[in-house]
Amino acid sequence: MWLELFLFVLLVLLLRYYFTRPSGMPPGPMVIPYVGNSLFPTISVVKKLRKKYGDIFKTELGQNKFIFLCNYKLIKEAMSRTELSDRPHLDLGFILSEGVPAGVIMTNGKHWQNARRFLLRNLRDLGMGKTYLEDAIQREAQLLVEDFKKHSGSPTLFPKSLNVAVLNVVWQMVASTRYDMDDERVLSIIKIIRSFETTSVLLILEFIPFIKKIIPDFIKNRLSLYTKMANLRKEAKTLIQDIKTAHRAQLDPDNPRDVIDEYLIAMDNKSDIAEYFSELDLVCVTFDLFNAGFDTTSNMLRWIILYMIKYPEVQRRVQEQIDAVVPRDTLPSYQHKPNLPLVEAMIQEALRFSSMVSLGVQRSPDRDIQVGGYLIPKGSFVFPATVCCHYDPQYWEHPDQFRLEHFLDDQGNFASQKEGFLPFGTGRRSCLGESLARMELFLFSSALLQNFTFSAPEGCEVNLEGDPRLPSVRLAHDQNIVITPRTKED
């Protein structure tokens, strides 16, 4: 009796699954109904599936459909469409707001449009991408150089000051605040954020939510999932609330100092968009900028250091050009940039070779759409797999080699415009801080290479694999390196 009932229910579910599936979707591996055909796909899996199924294919996890775009022109065309402007809703994206859409990175529609427009306007007014922001970056670069000197000589992990220096640049625009290189409060929040980035089990719980209900509490406690969430929420909210309270007390509507001042003024303004500026949104937008302010750029600087260790001849070429252009007692500036094509080419090649956000920033169509001749159902997760572009022999002569010549012309000049290159994304959701990130990467990396030579500990090789706990993002392994101060004779 029970067996027959079970088989009947199973048959009904299978029939429902197959007869309600939309037709015309991209090809992909065989799917187990209601389970899918993969865990969250890793970069290596995506590369293998591309070889088998082509430039657009599908995998499934639970009820979620993952569509991967692996061709430069396909990505450019798809990401420019307004129907693909939304981000998929993930609870992990709203830890501070406890699931309520807020902030700028993960919100959609008018909420996102107003938040992004507000931030772009005010960050530009406050100096993003302009030369007078250079002074703030160079101050941090000088302090970073001084801190690196303290770690020189013997093998050391990447100095934590790398995170704080990068954060301080954007944080001065956001909150008129900078932190000491060893500020424990900031380092604590950064540590918690890093722990989330390397907890891939959270992705499984996100995409197969019923598992969350059946995992025993002792396992959840063992994984510290909810403790981490609570700690991050508490630490970040406390930090931001303290800053907000101080800003409110000193607010002068006629003379805003930073993004938080501008936000408080917008909250007080009874305009038709005031509904998108709330206390909760202020906390979440500020945290979005805090997170973005240190994470990607500081990680990219780690990759640059690791590549200089792996390819010492490249490090030597870059240093020789810096020495020929910039006096040793002067930090490199944007004024020197046109005469430092090797520095620019090295940064671009590091962005390509690392392909840090390898599977791109996920999008989700707000309606059924056609891409590349296939149906992309509403609510799917669409991955612009930029790593496939960055290693496509159609665009790169030697895609598996770290070569400055990929970004130099025949005369040795910097070639900035390259097809097949999307390190900051494309379309309406492209990185809003790209100009700031490029300025930071140039000034920080050139200052470090002017003052130091980086190498591996004796008898060791640097690890360039990226953290295996992250399926779609390549974070540089924290590992021992040797920092050697350069002399005038070097």
Query: Cβ(280)–Cβ(102) under 8 Å?
Result: yes
Farthest CA pair distance, the chain? 88
Q: Give the DSSP letter of residue 419.
A: T
Span between the terminal Cα atoms of the chain, in Å: 85
Contact call for residues 279 and 103 (beta carbons, < 8 A): no
User: Rounded CA gap, 175 and 483, in Å?
Assistant: 32
388 is in an annotated binding site: no
Angle at the Cα of 359 from the Cα atoms of 212 and 444, rounded to 5 degrees: 110
8 A C-beta contact, residue 188 and residue 234:
no
**Beta carbons within 8 Å of 366's beta carbon, 6+ residues apart:** 83, 85, 86, 108, 378
Contact status, residue 178 vs residue 199, Cβ threshold 8 Å: no
Q: CA 71, CA 319: separation in Å to the nearest integer?
A: 35
d(CA 164, CA 170): 10
* DSSP three-state, residue 318: helix
- Name 335's Cβ contacts closer than 8 Å, sequence gap at least 6: none
Tokens of 180: 């000491």
Run of H or E residues at 452:
strand 452-455
b/e string for 33-54 if b means 16 or more Cβ within 10 A? eeebebebbbbebbbebbeebe
Which residue intervals of 269-372 are DSSP H helices? 279-310, 312-325, 341-354
> Could you give the CA distance from residue 18 to residue 2 in angstroms, rounded to a whole number?
24
Point out the annotated binding site: 431
Point out the annotated binding site for heme: 431
